[in-house]
Amino acid sequence: MTHLLNQLLEALAAAAQDNVDQPEHARAFAQWIHLGQSRATDILAALGDAAAAANGPARESKHVAVLGYASHGDARFQEPFVDALNWLRQRSFFVPGRPLAFEVDGIALLGVALGVSRLPTATATEPTGWLRGLLARQPALGNPTGWNDALVAAASEVVGHAANAMTPDLRAALAERLDLQISEADQEAAWALIAEMRGIEDGMTRAATQQVALHFLLKNSATIRPSAFTVEQVVKLLTGVSAGLRHWTWEEKARTPNSAIARWDVENEYHVQNLLWAVMAPVFPNLDDEEWLKSLGHHKPRADFAVPSLHLIVEAKFLRSGKNAFSQVIEEVAADASTYLQQGSPYRHIIVVVWDDFARTEEHAELRKGLLRISGIRGAVVIPRPAKMARHARKAAPQR
């Protein structure tokens, strides 16, 4: 997986390289989407300086777009952008018999929209209305998933009109650059689109967009792709909790002069639930605690945790001392399983996590075997109390 990801990143980096043979506003877009990287900042500033110097017959609509991209991140370009924008607004668009140019150029429209979005409110009112008017006159979409149409949709959203034609990779990139809202469905679609190298034929601008989108998706992958997990992977995640306790706080003396001795003891089943919540909640944003399940007569069962996207319940148990402690926990889990997975329940799988407070590791293999024989149990994780968490002058506690 890592090898394939590296290959993908390398392919996108190669395709996104600045290309001086491309139009200036396309180069400006590619640098703007990467803004924050020193080289991108330098190239965009140089493009902005050249566009600001274009006057008279040499001035073109693409120069206004370049200044829009440049001024979005650098206030020194705002004055030349306003000057160029005033020139652009004097021109006529959608003229019958004349080929469409700026008015349907997605990269140019987005650049101007970004520049307008940075203007002071008093200055922005008229340009915003003018640009919205142009965007409202766009021809019917020839290709709803096309790159140019996606850029036009992005321009519309920047000036206050949400658009559905934006491709998921562009929306993910703009979620990174502009904090635009993006749904989990669009994030999933962006992963698939980028992984399949779709859109690479659109050249430098889309490759640069997909680089930024991929950065956003990887940065947020712990919380945005719960559906990418399988039940078996959740078992692996929870099996790792025992190793994670190596750095669990259990002090023999205070660590700093201003702090007290701290010991994060695990005393009961509720503490085990808190530990599991700390591990699972960052990974599964749809994690439910104490999920109420379908009633059985007067009995309304309640599971410890539920992951609806995986039809999964995670149940915690606290194993104390006692001759029949192991058989008792197996009986409890069997009763839980028959209740939680009854006909009509949306849940199909259970993972049991048992905290063994007496660390009887020689018995754990047999306990896991017994638990896994219960119908519906997909994983049995046993966490022994770490040796460093030794109990001293321990009082007997009633069994649960």
Please tell me the class of the 229-389 domain.
alpha beta
Kindly list the distances between the CA atom of residue 348 and the CA atoms of 236, 293, 303, 305, 312, in Å, as whole numbers in the listed order.
Answer: 18, 12, 13, 13, 6
DSSP 259: S
Q: For residue 296, what pLDDT is reported?
A: 47
> Which pTM value belongs to this model?
0.58
pLDDT digits (tens, 9 = 90+) for 128-184: 999 999 998 887 655 556 899 999 999 999 998 777 788 999 999 999 999 888 888
pLDDT at 227: 54
Contact 7, 32 (CB under 8 A): no
pLDDT of residue 272: 95
- Tell me which residue of 183, 164, 194 sits closest to 227, measured CA to CA: 183
Whole-number pLDDT of residue 371: 96
Domain assignments of the chain as residue spans, ordered by start: 2-224, 229-389
Contacts of 87 (CB under 8 A, 6+ apart): 59, 64
CA neighbor of 279 nearest in space, from 310, 248, 311 = 248
Instruction: Assess whether pLDDT exceeds 60 at residue 85.
Output: yes
> 151: which 2 tokens?
């850029």
Chain-wide mean pLDDT for the chain? 87
pLDDT of residue 36: 61
Q: How many helices (H) and strands (E) does the chain have?
A: 17, 5
